[in-house]
Amino acid sequence: MAFEKRIGLGFAVAIAASFAGSVLAADLTVKAPQPVAAFTPSDIHGFFDVSFGGDYITPRGVHVTGTGLTTQIATGLSADIYKNKNGFINKVSLYGGVWNDLWSEQNSPTVGSWKEFDWFIGGKVQFGQSWIADVQYVEFLFPAGGVSTQRNLQATLTYDDTSWGLPVQLKPYIRGWYQFSGPSNVLVGKNGDSGYVEFGATPTLDLTTRGIGVVLTAPTWVSVGPKDYWNRGVAGCGTIATPCATSNAGVFSTGLTATVPVTWIPSNFGKWAVRGGFQYYHLMNDSLLLAQTLTGTASSYATAKRDIVVGFAGLGFSF
């Protein structure tokens, strides 16, 4: 009842104020409405992404799983700690997050389908308007056990050619990868204290600017590194005792991803998008074929696949 009385009193006061306003309007100076402050983007950003595929191949060319369903979930936060559009240093950001890989056929008695857990922290600097330097520390952990933690450092330099105004942006980059410790990233390579270099680009065609609601990207890269990164002297490339050919080459990969922004979700709930596509891998190094016999994706070196296509679909949002 008290609530209803307050509502009634408020209504009466509003009517009185309206009447008085109409009587005195001629004697009052009319003020222009104050401009609404422009929206300032937040300095805190986040993302969530989930993808589904039939295979899991690492960027280094290890064919981890080839049956069942692979679900990969990534989430993280970043903070812009410095911004200056007109200076040489345009933005400095710190970020961190986690990544999980679930394999439907793992069937671990302790962790079920949970196959891999990665956590990462890093910093990113945008400079000269178009250059981005990104340094990231990342650890690979394996909840089911049997594999020790792998500790790695990744450094990437990217050039964003969007300002050129071309129909397709190439966005080339060079990436250095160094493994501090733990068992080899590629199973048969050197255990820690080694790494490789990746040369790549992400050709991008944004059709949303032409009224077509899709963005096409073609992630492409090739990796090279010391011979012992790929193989520390493990035999088996052929018959059991056959040594693997030593090579600096790693993997070549290219593909096509179509990303469709979800425009019907209000912007205050973040930017949502769905995507789908494929990624093709050509394993140049024979040791990556040998690694398949250890992951179980090949029963023998003779049955290992050098060329693999992985299809996927997913969705995510960022703010």
CATH topology of domain 44-318: Porin (2.40.160)
Through-space distance between the first and last CA atoms of the chain, rounded to whole angstroms:
43
The reported pLDDT for the residue numbered 12 is 37
Report DSSP state, residue 29. P
Each residue's pLDDT tens digit in the chain (319 positions)?
443 433 343 433 333 333 333 333 333 334 444 444 444 467 999 999 999 999 999 999 999 999 999 999 999 999 999 999 999 999 999 999 999 999 999 999 999 999 999 999 999 999 999 999 999 999 999 999 999 999 999 999 999 999 999 999 999 999 999 999 999 999 999 999 999 999 999 999 999 988 899 999 999 999 999 999 999 999 999 988 899 999 999 999 999 999 999 999 998 899 999 999 999 999 999 999 999 999 999 999 999 999 999 999 999 999 9
Residue 287 contacts residue 318 (beta carbons within 8 Å): no
Q: How many CB atoms lie within 10 A of CB 239?
A: 10
The reported pLDDT for the residue numbered 42 is 73
Place of tokens 């949002």: 317
309 closest CA partner among 258, 255, 252: 255
Buried b (16+ CB within 10 A) or exposed e, 254-272: bbebebbeeeeeeeeebeb
Strand partners of residue 53: 70, 312
The reported pLDDT for the residue numbered 41 is 60
- Pairing verdict, β 271-283 and 220-224: unpaired
